[in-house]
Structure 1
Amino acid sequence: MEALISEVKNDLKNNDPAAAVARVKEQSNQQRNTPLNIAITGESGSGKSTFVNAFRGISDEDDGAAPTNIVEASKEPIPYFHPDYPNVNVWDLPGIGTTKFPANEYLKHIGFEKFDFFIIISDTRFRENDVKLAQEIQKMKKKFYFVRSKIDNDIRAAGRKKDFNEKTTLDIIRKSCDQDLLKQGISSPRIFLVSSFELHLYDFSRLYETLGKDLPEHKRDALLFATSNINLEIIKKKKEAFQSKIKYYASLSACVAAIPLPGVSTAFDVALMAITARDYVHGFGLDKSSLQRLSARTRVPYRDMLAVTMSPLVAGEITEEVMLKMLPQLAGITALMAIEEAVRLIPIIGIIASAGLSGIAIYNVLNYFLDTLAKDAQSVFERSLTGP
């Protein structure tokens, strides 16, 4: 971020505010474009495709969804892009049993080196091919995780018994998977029980936390923002990630204000507000397309999702013109920006005061946007759990 501040200051000294704004947009895009390649493998019918879709926050019926309920035919990896973060690719790999390759040749065939980690899925028990593949992945120094899918089906079936207890049922399934893998030579297997239709239940949250810990730091945000709001903790982590950058944006605004070009500071701040607000809205899944996908997946009407939100930024087009129209509603911010332009006229000390006021204004407005949008994300999440 320090390099960005230096480059923006140089652009403005050269009387090129458009280039300065373009740099901020580019920085925002770079943060969204860290590549993350996730490999999903398992036997045909194990729930791979539905998991691929759920991981991307879409339903099986959405455009671009991985096809389900068909016999696996492809012998090649198929990438599915995240709809909002195209840097995140979830790859549906052919089941090792369908390729007839030994495990080591299978990994070469699919190009194992491009994947950040592997998720091995089964809807019953993990078989010999799954174990051989895991052992070869381990030899290649890559991370792998076992996901036992369709847990919701198991819970419904067990629920018919008189002595049903959900925790006991889950413990039995987990222990059975663990024992099977231990018998086949996998020590300390990491097993996660998941329903692709109810990601907020069972082990998906634990799977996400484990992936985040195992990924390099620069890839964690890519995973974080590509992950749907499956619980309130995810929303909190997204807010914290955004919060950590606000001080840099405030510093950037202050540096711009220190350059004695009338009107440039306000124009730059408005552009910065629009860029950052768009990041917040997309990061929290509050843009129109994300809310429509959530509505389709949960069957909660789209209008009901909107009804629980407060920010005018939700599901709207966020432009510099929209920011300008919002400024009168942010009385304290508008006053600070007006004072900033006024004191700029005072020789020497005016520039220093103007820089400080600009930084404070941006710090306050971005915190305001972030607080209100995080609350809206929480309200939408809670509404999505209540059903139609």
Structure 2
Amino acid sequence: MAEPIYETAESNCANYYDNEMMGEVMSESRNYVKVDPAQSSAEAKEEQYLLENVTLNIAITGESGVGKSSFVNAMRGLGNGEYGAAETGVTETTMKAIRYRHPTMPNVYIWDLPGIGTPNFKAKKYLKEVQFDSYDFFIIIGSLRFKENDILLAKEIKRLKKTFYFVRSKVDQDVQAESRKRYVTEEQILTKIRLRCRENLAPVGNPKVFLISTMDLGKYDFQKLVDSLKDNLSDHKWSALVESLPVCSLSMIETKKIVLKKRARVAAAAAATTVHILLLPGFSIGCEIAIMVKFLEKALTSFGLDEKYIQALAVRVNKRPRQLRSVMKSRFYEGVDKTVVAGMFRTTGMLVAKIVEGMLFAVPAITMVIAFATTLQLLTQAIEEMAEDAKAVILAAGLC
């Protein structure tokens, strides 16, 4: 995409809208009159297409009974027993992998792989039968301790140069059981579990182990696991992963903010370039609103603020949906639509910017700078508002 335009728009955005210093923006924009809007539009559209269509396949494996299906459900933001959730407590009798589509991110798939605890388990054969190359990374789950087959599988995955992570499940149950002892703190219990895992997995080269509670992903090491995944995924896949994850902690909300603000730049670039290829005065705001609505609908869902998620969360925490909605203070508490987004343009700075943009519609480079700046500022503002609502909701739900 046209990086100079991005830099100019962003550097001048604060001054322009705080002080309405249009001359400053106009002066800077003259440096980019040679920008080809058609090329910029094509690049923006390509980037947006990649973000919206990237596919992510996550493989969950381990012995039967360690909580694989519960982890699959937790990653999809579903509780055990909810509609569309993976069945739990079922004895595995097949080598068939089960694919679960994410309920709000159709290109994100979480695979519940068959158990690896059979006496005749062979890592090479197992990976071939579950189609090893189909997955972006593996999560090997163990409870109490990791077994020999877990270690054999990890070694084979490592040999084939694929990424894997060890997750120690049911940590909340261990903490509850151990905490009955006198003079034992939760931190001491967690330290003890980590040491045992380290000793247990020494044959694999002392890998990181993440302690997880599928009943409450906000506890323990789930955020650390997510942060570790960033180093082994492309930017597009990382973005898809973060957007798909449930809002389980304040840290997760901050991570989503970072990702969504990066995506906002792509949406702003698409809005700024597409309409100016047509050079139609007065058409810009309509185009920007349509792109913004689409982006903000996804952002609302990612932050767990859509009606469906609020309803499900209310049931899970035994509260009424209106109790959770009552803490939302942003303009998006009833959702995202064209009317709400159009209202975001009704400030003095935005109206003046659009008047100038209309007057200069025949100078694509200048109008692109203004359109990018206005759209990006409004999207960034919306993300901040949604993030504050998300924090208020999970606090009201008692998840933090």
TM over 0.5: yes
Match of 1:233 among 223, 227, 251: 251
Amino acid at match of 2:252: I
**Deviation at residue 48 of structure 1 after TM alignment:** 0.9
Amino acid at match of 1:32: E
Contact 2:304 2:390 in 1 (8 A): yes
Deviates more, 1:118-127 or 1:282-291: 282-291
Question: Number of aligned pairs?
Answer: 368
Match of 1:121 among 125, 141, 158: 141
The TM-score with structure 2 as length reference comes to 0.81
Distance 2:269 2:97 in 1: 45
The reply to whether residue 337 of structure 1 matches residue 357 of structure 2 is no
Amino acid at match of 1:272: I
Distance 1:360 1:308 in 2: 31
Q: How far does the alpha carbon of each residue in 1:125-146 deviate from its partner, in whole angstroms, 9 at most, with x for none?
A: 1111111111111111112222
Q: How far does the alpha carbon of each residue in 1:162-192 deviate from its partner, in whole angstroms, 9 at most, with x for none?
A: 122111111111111221222xx22112211
The reply to whether residue 95 of structure 1 matches residue 115 of structure 2 is yes
Amino acid at match of 1:240: I
Match of 1:261 in 2: 280
**Deviation at residue 266 of structure 1 after TM alignment:** 2.2
**Partner SS state of residue 215, structure 1:** coil
Distance 1:79 1:205 in 2: 24
Match of 1:17 in 2: none
Q: Measured at CA, do residues 90 and 297 of structure 1 come closer, stay the same or move farther in structure 2, by a change above 3 Å?
A: farther
**Partner SS state of residue 96, structure 1:** coil
**Unpaired runs of 5+ in structure 2?**
7-35
The TM-score with structure 1 as length reference comes to 0.84
Amino acid at match of 2:294: I
Match of 1:270 in 2: 289
Amino acid at match of 1:75: M
Any residues of structure 2 matched to 1:207-356 within 5 Å, and which?
Answer: 207-255=225-273, 256-257=275-276, 260-314=279-333, 316=335, 318-324=336-342, 326-327=343-344, 330=347, 332-338=349-355, 340-341=357-358, 343-344=359-360, 355-356=368-369
Match of 2:386 among 352, 359, 373: 373
Q: Measured at CA, do residues 253 and 123 of structure 1 come closer, stay the same or move farther in structure 2, by a change above 3 Å?
A: closer
**Deviation at residue 300 of structure 1 after TM alignment:** 3.9
Deviates more, 1:225-234 or 1:369-378: 225-234
Distance 1:141 1:75 in 2: 23
Contact 1:32 1:85 in 2 (8 A): no
Contact 2:121 2:149 in 1 (8 A): no
Q: Measured at CA, do residues 23 and 297 of structure 1 come closer, stay the same or move farther in structure 2, by a change above 3 Å?
A: farther
Distance 2:60 2:119 in 1: 15
Match of 1:152 among 154, 172, 178: 172
Q: Measured at CA, do residues 174 and 252 of structure 1 come closer, stay the same or move farther in structure 2, by a change above 3 Å?
A: closer
The reply to whether residue 61 of structure 1 matches residue 74 of structure 2 is no
Deviates more, 1:357-366 or 1:203-212: 357-366
Contact 1:120 1:147 in 2 (8 A): yes
Distance 1:74 1:300 in 2: 39
